[in-house]
Amino acid sequence: MPLKRHIHITVGKHNFFVLKRSLLYIILTVESISICLAQKNQAEELLKLGVQCIENGKVDSALYYWNRVIDMDSSYVEAFFNRAMVNYQHKKYQQAISDLSFVLDKHPNDKQALQFRSICKDSIGDILGAEEDRKIAEEIVEFPEASIRVHGIVDEEYIEKGDQWINAGNYEKGIEYYSQVIELSPSKFEPYYKRAYAYLDLGEIEKAMHDLKIADSIQPNNASILAEIAYCHYYREETKMGLKYCKEALAIDELHPTANYYAGMLELQAENNKEGLDFLLKAISFGYNTGRAYFNLGVAYYFLEDMDNACKNWEISKDKGFTRADEMLNEHCK
């Protein structure tokens, strides 16, 4: 009996020490997890501070915060990604490629990193490398769930380049740049809207309508988008739908020049000439005073049999360089 009691006590001590070690392990593990979570939260806060600095034009401060994240945890790819965007902006393409390559080492299917690395490679003349990155990116459907990324730096540059090409009359090149931004940032409404506007100038109404609908889904209740959708319906001679969208646009901003102009055009299309005239007068008073606007104002007066005002407005239209006004002046205002 004493022997059994002795054995029992020994086993009990062993269990006690095992339990003590287990508890110590659990405490250390929980503490380690807590430290990791705290570190992750701190890293995310620093990333956010960096983004805020970029928004306020404080690039050096942004880099300071992101480098602190990298010092804390070199596997935190968002800091490398953001640093690459700043390096690109300052034409430090090799450094940007290095940072993006680090991101891709950790996450080979990072579509954005591949696309932006291809842009950087294009910038240094590595055409084959850029093409290879683009081909890989094309096969990846989903974008990464990036918590904080500042790729808007490149987006803004490409939108600006698109605008420059459009203003120079090269619509193909302008659309190409807007399309690149759409590929890089599919949740941004501006490139869809600008590309749609370019398509409208080219008379490619279906393509314009497609982009405008996407822009509207991203940023609903935007009077400018709704007004351009109204124009697409005007072009298709879908007068009721066009007026519906104009009404929605004017409910948001009754002083919107383009919405008033298209409402005037749609009312004329519906043969509501007095209503059309009123909207066109409002559009011109709100700043939509193009040669085309005065031409159509003249048309509204013509339908209302007010030839003095019709001829007066066609004359203004002609002075503004709208060539069709000449035809109306020669035919009706001799």
| Structural domain boundaries in the chain | 2-138, 187-332
* Cα separations in angstroms, 225 against 107, 243, 247, 270: 37, 14, 13, 22
pLDDT tens digits, one per residue of 13-29 = 455 455 455 544 454 44
Q: Which band of pLDDT confidence, cut at 50, 70 and 90, is reported for residue 90?
A: confident
For residue 32, what pLDDT is reported?
40
Rounded to 5°, the CA angle 32-46-95 comes to 105
Mean pLDDT, residues 99-124 taken together: 90
Question: Is 306 a residue whose pLDDT tops 70?
Answer: yes
Q: Residue 178 has what pLDDT? A: 93
CATH assignment of 187-332, given 1.25.40.10, 1.25.10.10, 1.10.3480.10, 2.60.120.380? 1.25.40.10
pLDDT above 80 (res 34): no
- The pLDDT score that the predictor gives to residue 157 is 80
Confidence (pLDDT) at 104: 94
Is the fold of 2-138 the same as that of 187-332? yes
For residue 8, pLDDT beyond 90: no
Average pLDDT, the chain: 85
pLDDT for residue 242: 97
Checking if the pLDDT of 222 tops 80, the result is yes
Check residues 137 and 316 and name the one with the higher pLDDT: 316
Q: What is the 3-state secondary structure (H, E, C) of the chain?
A: CHHHHHHHHHHHHHHHHHHHHHHHHHHHHHHHHHHHHHHHHHHHHHHHHHHHHHHCCCHHHHHHHHHHHHHHCCCCHHHHHHHHHHHHHCCCHHHHHHHHHHHHHHCCCCHHHHHHHHHHHHHCCCHHHHHHHHHHHHCCCCCCCCCCCCCHHHHHHHHHHHHHHHHCCCHHHHHHHHHHHHHHCCCCHHHHHHHHHHHHHHCCHHHHHHHHHHHHHHCCCCHHHHHHHHHHHHHCCCHHHHHHHHHHHHHHCCCCHHHHHHHHHHHHHCCCHHHHHHHHHHHHHCCCCCHHHHHHHHHHHHHCCCHHHHHHHHHHHHHCCCCHHHHHHHHHCC
Tell me how crowded residue 18 is: count the other CB atoms within 10 A of its CB: 10
Q: What is the pLDDT of residue 39?
A: 58
Cβ proximity of 225 and 193 under 8 Å: yes
Mean pLDDT of 36-49: 72
CB count within 10 Å of CB 267 equals 23
Q: Tell whether the model's pLDDT for residue 75 goes beyond 80.
A: no
Q: What is the pLDDT of residue 320?
A: 94
The CA R_g of the chain, rounded to the nearest whole Å, is 32
* pLDDT tens figures, 154-211: 788 889 889 999 999 999 999 988 998 888 778 888 999 999 999 999 999 999 999 9
Give the architecture (CATH level 2) of 2-138.
Alpha Horseshoe (1.25)
Which of 16-25, 72-81, 120-129, 161-170 has the least mean pLDDT? Answer: 16-25
CB 319: neighbour CB atoms within 10 A? 11
Burial track 118-153 (b if 16+ CB lie within 10 A, e otherwise):
bbbbbeeebeebbeebbebbeeeeeebeeebbbbbb
Residue 249 is predicted with a pLDDT of 97
Prediction pTM value:
0.66
Q: What's the confidence (pLDDT) of residue 286? A: 96
